[in-house]
Structure 1
Amino acid sequence: MAHLALYRAWRPQTFHDMVGQQHIVQTLQNAIRENRLAHAYLFSGPRGTGKTSAAKILAKAVNCEHGPSVEPCNECSQCQRITTGSVMDVVEIDAASNRGVEEIRDIRDKVKYAPTEVRRKVYIIDEVHMLTTEAFNALLKTLEEPPGHVMFILATTEPHRLPPTIISRCQRFDFRRVSLEEQVERLSEISREEQITAEADALKFIARLSDGGMRDAVSLLDQIASFTSGQVTLAHAIEATGGLPSEQFARLAVAVRDRDAASVLQEIEEMMRAGKSADKCLEQFMHYFRDLLMVQLAPQATGSSGRIADPQELKQMADGFSRERLFDIIDLLNRYQSEMKYAAHPQTMFEIALLKLCSDSQPTVSAPQGQVTAGVDRGELQLLKQQIASLENKLNAAMKSGAAIANSSSGSGSTASASRSGVGQATRAVATPRARVKLTAFVEAHHTGNAIALKWSQILDGVKEKGRTIHAMLLDGKPVAHTDDTVVVAFNNTFHRENTEKPASLAVIEEVLSTIFSRPTRLVTVMLKEWQDALAEGAGSHTGSSAGTGSSESESSAREELKLEPEDDTGASKEPWVDEAVRLFGEELVTIKED
């Protein structure tokens, strides 16, 4: 005879066989005894906790030849046939594969017919949350007012995905995870009956790995028993399930606690040589730190609080970590576990996660008894420093921008001469819409445009991190000159230039420039045509001066080239609404017509 999997052979057949769900068993038995059965039930809870088994037991209890009875006899033909699934009036539907409206309409059409083989017609819909919206709508009316001979039992692991209108029409029972002690007791009983020799520590290890699912625990016992020919030891259980012994977790935790990166890498290498899965190791390591946190927060908890190791062994380890650091470790490991699902090299992600744990925060400083223990997070401190530096740069940019604009507006028509060191203030007026600077002062710096071009992609990347809209505007520009404290960028489009010159955009760009060049650096924007004209004028002036002028005249000319001049009257308007139109739409789109 073919071997029958243990979880199928030991599937509960009576309410007495169910493990860890006494609150549900008692309620259902009382309802049967007092003839207060509902027409619809909703069984929800984690996988492997007995939802579908309870549904079939209830179907047998209400249809038993000797009942309705609080326990099915499992000897009459009705009970036996319901167990094997050969009764037409007890219908078990997998909503994951029959989730459409047509299947539910078929139920709605047949539900009005009386049962032909048993006392009560029962519909068990498993994974009911998989039904479509249309299917739920088709089920709704039938579920609300079914015939008296019909009972619906809905089972799901995700009750939050059910419409409230469905939930409100059912009696809801929440199945809980089975406790460690109850699982171990059940596994011991199965081991005795199946002639399996199992160590108590091995059964505890299996129960912890099952995460409260009785079916998973029985399946693991069956797997390990097959691997060891019926001799289940802790070492065999760890090897067969790909797990890690608690001693190895302890060594790895000590290395993280002491920020010993070399030991961390050595432990990971041993795990990988043993054929362990990186994602599984990270998951179990996260649960190990979860157990440490539980020991700290709930020291009175018994063995049921630990998944990876015995809580008694964790107490000494937990004393080496602050509560805050345990929270941070669990949070970081959880984030890396999510990213590891899509990583091409999971082992590398595992190594990076643990190395980050070794370098993220400073050791906790011991304080005298009665004082609060203080710790400084290196990452938070660095972040604060960066934020302070950013605020200082923005403040300096705003002050200098305001000073330059004030100087240009108070001395309209006057000359604003600047030396090379003071070019930042004088050139700030370049962006004002009613004034224009002669740009030949930067022509002699044009040769440094190649140097700035080499760093332009780095500048664009830095701006993109801080603001995608600003980055999109700056893409239209091209760096053409670079002095000690100024970068000149030429634009093809007026709209892009004007948006780049907005104070908020300038602050972001100049912050990036100052960071890359390691000194305060300002941005000057020009139109590309203006720049090309300035280059042409600069070339002509250089030719004339080399032919017959002295060096003093050349220097004087260079100083006078940086002038703030009002625009000529040909392009200027005397009317404020015209000025506003030019400011909003740009000179290219505004045409002035005289009456």
Structure 2
Amino acid sequence: MDQLAGGLRMSYQALYRVWRPQRFDEIVGQSIITQTLKNAILTKQISHAYLFTGPRGTGKTSAAKIFAKAVNCHYLKDGEPCNECETCRAINEGSLSDVIEIDAASNNGVEEIRDIRDKVKYAPTKADYKVYIIDEVHMLSTGAFNALLKTLEEPPANVIFILATTEPHKIPATIISRTQKFDFKRIRPQDILERMAYILKQKHIDYDDKALKLIAKAAEGGMRDALSILDQAMSYGDDQVTYENALLVTGSVTNELLTTYVEQVIQKDTKSALITIQKILDDGKDASRFVEDLTSYCQDILLYQQDPQIVEQMELGVVDDKFKQLTSQISDDQIYQMINELNDISNSLRFTAHPDVYLQVLTVKITHLDQTAASPAVSSEKVAQTERVEDEKIDRLTNKINDLQREIAELKKTGVTAAMGEPAEPATPKPAAKAANAHIELTKIYPILGSATRKSLNEFQQVWPDLMNTLSVTQRAVMHVSKPVAASPDGIIVAFEYPIFYQKAQADRELCDALENNLDRLVGKSPTIVFVPSNQWPTIRRDYLANHKAELKSGSTESESASDDQPTDKPGPAPDAPKPIVAKAAELFGKDILDIKND
């Protein structure tokens, strides 16, 4: 009996294995890719190599196996394999020797790839095409990639390579250029929900609609993850999927509890918020999961304030009256500050054995946040007023610099050195360099301004929304108040509306890397990205123009913008004369990074 019970237990297969797609139209959320592959098979335009990229559980390996069946099936139906002929059944069972699936994580050496290169020359034994499916191909060593490259350069006519990876940036460009690349996207929660509901109906299992919505959201775009969570919920609930079971399996916190907690934070009710946190911990919820749920909840509030329909689609309709009321009570500045604190706590939780302490500290912090700008209109007015004041300062300073130039020129005429008079030590420009507490990288900004064009700025502005969509939730929250203000082919200057987010972005190396890497994917190049505060941008721009004009008048430098300067009939300094503006700029600002602080 024990052996029989053991056999029954071993015969159970996970949902994601039983319900693995066997046809292109069963792959969820990738209709463009599947239609393209079907058309290629129907029109006999089959490439020798394909690269499938995308997050885990989005259908890459399933699509590769279905494609292997379709190219070898003699009974195609609209580009779909029949799954009934001998070849299809053999591929489904994994017994066809002409379809070879390789895990690059454990077979990543040169010898394994050389073995493929030696065998690839032999014709298929039973099928029309020999298909090599190399999963997690980014794990191959450099030598293995070089060996694979030689095979991809001159492949036999009856061989197809399908490379699959979750990290395409680790694959050499020489490999990518020899393949047809397909990017598998994260699957929408609505599509995951429909697929799970279909599976449960086929298995005649009762389920709570709210439970499936919670699982679909927790899966984060991966169908395999969703089915694994669903499997756990079914096991826990004895073949019944309830909302309570889904909460326990995912470790998530209910929307009602999140709403209560955020309400207490807004009302600065620290005591009640601490009691809520203790209740969450007592219920066995994971602290890191709570921080993720709260970050997502803050994102939903921010997006709902901009476009309610987006949140209702993302949250699968789980938007109640309390949530709607909450969005009208909290300002976007409070949300930004909360997300910053959540991001800091999230990093700390990974290295602590006392998560309760961090959550309590977090609660005290966010219940004492300053409402620096409750009204966006007031904030914008203050920024505009600051810019006007700075513009007036710049105008006065520019006039004084021009006067000093004329005085120095007159002194040169009369043979008097500039060292004996007051013009040698004008201290007035210094206040202009004390407008914000920030490190402004002038050595990176000036080269970009020197070759900046409207065409480059337009190019980056067009892809900016797509670039924002590639970032994580916390990264998007930081970049939400930024925009590109100048660009050259090799660099972008990005201005931040609030100094706090400028400083946050400046210190976040991971954010900078993400921006540059994703720009490389979007526009095919990786320009230098420099951040500036919005209230300092007019000052930086005018200083640059003023210095540029001074250099033109002295004849010391060449500039592309010389044609924009006004002509003058006054004689310039002698060829061996010092460059007073350049020298003064070096004296005031230094040659590297400008450190500007308020008095």
TM over 0.5: yes
Quickly name the TM-score band, shorter chain normalised. 0.5 to 0.7
Contact 1:305 1:311 in 2 (8 A): no
Corresponding position of 1:306 = 315
Contact 2:247 2:254 in 1 (8 A): yes
| Structure 1 counterpart of 2:107, from 86, 98, 110 | 98
CA gap of 1:308–1:212, structure 2 versus 1, over 3 A, is farther
Q: Quick check: 1:249 aligned with 2:258? A: yes
Query: What 5-or-longer segments of structure 2 have no aligned partner?
Result: 1-7, 384-599
Query: 1:336-383: per-residue Cα shift (whole Å, max 9, x none)?
Result: 21221112322212222232222232375569xx7558999xxxxxxx
Q: Quick check: 1:327 aligned with 2:349? A: no
Secondary structure of 1:344's match? coil
| Structure 2 counterpart of 1:139, from 148, 159, 162 | 148
Query: 1:177-197: per-residue Cα shift (whole Å, max 9, x none)?
Result: 111221111111101111110
Secondary structure of 2:164's match? strand
Following the alignment from structure 2 to structure 1, what is the Cα–Cα distance between the partners of residues 372 and 316? 27
Q: How many residues were matched structurally?
A: 374
Secondary structure of 2:182's match? strand
Contact 1:178 1:214 in 2 (8 A): yes
| Structure 2 counterpart of 1:205, from 214, 221, 225 | 214
Following the alignment from structure 2 to structure 1, what is the Cα–Cα distance between the partners of residues 370 and 378? 21
Equivalence map 1:184-195=2 (5 Å): 184-195=193-204
Following the alignment from structure 1 to structure 2, what is the Cα–Cα distance between the partners of residues 293 and 152? 45
Query: 1:79-118: per-residue Cα shift (whole Å, max 9, x none)?
Result: 1111121111111111111111111111111111111121
Contact 2:333 2:374 in 1 (8 A): no
Give the C-alpha shift of residue 204 in structure 1: 1.0
Q: Quick check: 1:230 aligned with 2:253? A: no
Corresponding position of 1:38 = 47
Corresponding position of 1:9 = 18
| Structure 1 counterpart of 2:70, from 58, 61, 73 | 61
| Structure 2 counterpart of 1:353, from 362, 368, 374 | 362
Equivalence map 1:16-415=2 (5 Å): 16-67=25-76, 70-301=79-310, 303-306=312-315, 309-310=318-319, 314-362=323-371, 365=374
CA gap of 1:12–1:69, structure 2 versus 1, over 3 A, is same
Query: What 5-or-longer segments of structure 1 have no aligned partner?
Result: 377-595
Contact 2:259 2:322 in 1 (8 A): no
CA gap of 1:333–1:307, structure 2 versus 1, over 3 A, is farther
Give the C-alpha shift of residue 154 in structure 1: 0.7
Give the C-alpha shift of residue 12 in structure 1: 0.3
Larger Rg: 1
Contact 1:177 1:212 in 2 (8 A): yes
Secondary structure of 1:205's match? helix
Contact 1:363 1:375 in 2 (8 A): no
Higher mean alpha-carbon deviation, 260-269 vs 31-40, is at: 260-269
Give the C-alpha shift of residue 71 in structure 1: 0.7
| Code of the aligned partner of 1:60 | K
Q: CA RMSD in A?
A: 2.3
Following the alignment from structure 2 to structure 1, what is the Cα–Cα distance between the partners of residues 316 and 107? 36
Identity %: 48
| Code of the aligned partner of 1:100 | G
Secondary structure of 1:198's match? coil
Corresponding position of 1:450 = none
Secondary structure of 1:355's match? helix
| Code of the aligned partner of 1:154 | L
Contact 2:73 2:82 in 1 (8 A): yes
Contact 2:229 2:249 in 1 (8 A): no
| Code of the aligned partner of 1:187 | M
| Code of the aligned partner of 1:29 | K
| TM-score, length-scaled by structure 1 | 0.60
Give the C-alpha shift of residue 307 in structure 1: 8.1
Contact 1:42 1:173 in 2 (8 A): yes
Contact 2:333 2:372 in 1 (8 A): no
Following the alignment from structure 2 to structure 1, what is the Cα–Cα distance between the partners of residues 126 and 322? 58
Following the alignment from structure 2 to structure 1, what is the Cα–Cα distance between the partners of residues 81 and 320? 40
Query: 1:419-448: per-residue Cα shift (whole Å, max 9, x none)?
Result: xxxxxxxxxxxxxxxxxxxxxxxxxxxxxx
Following the alignment from structure 2 to structure 1, what is the Cα–Cα distance between the partners of residues 381 and 365? 21
Equivalence map 1:416-565=2 (5 Å): none
Contact 2:152 2:178 in 1 (8 A): yes
Secondary structure of 1:197's match? coil
| TM-score, length-scaled by structure 2 | 0.59
Secondary structure of 1:60's match? helix
Query: 1:551-590: per-residue Cα shift (whole Å, max 9, x none)?
Result: xxxxxxxxxxxxxxxxxxxxxxxxxxxxxxxxxxxxxxxx
CA gap of 1:227–1:326, structure 2 versus 1, over 3 A, is same
| Code of the aligned partner of 1:96 | A
Corresponding position of 2:468 = none
Following the alignment from structure 1 to structure 2, what is the Cα–Cα distance between the partners of residues 362 and 73? 63
Following the alignment from structure 1 to structure 2, what is the Cα–Cα distance between the partners of residues 147 and 229? 53
* Runs of 4+ with deviation above 4 angstroms: 363-367, 370-376
CA gap of 1:353–1:58, structure 2 versus 1, over 3 A, is same
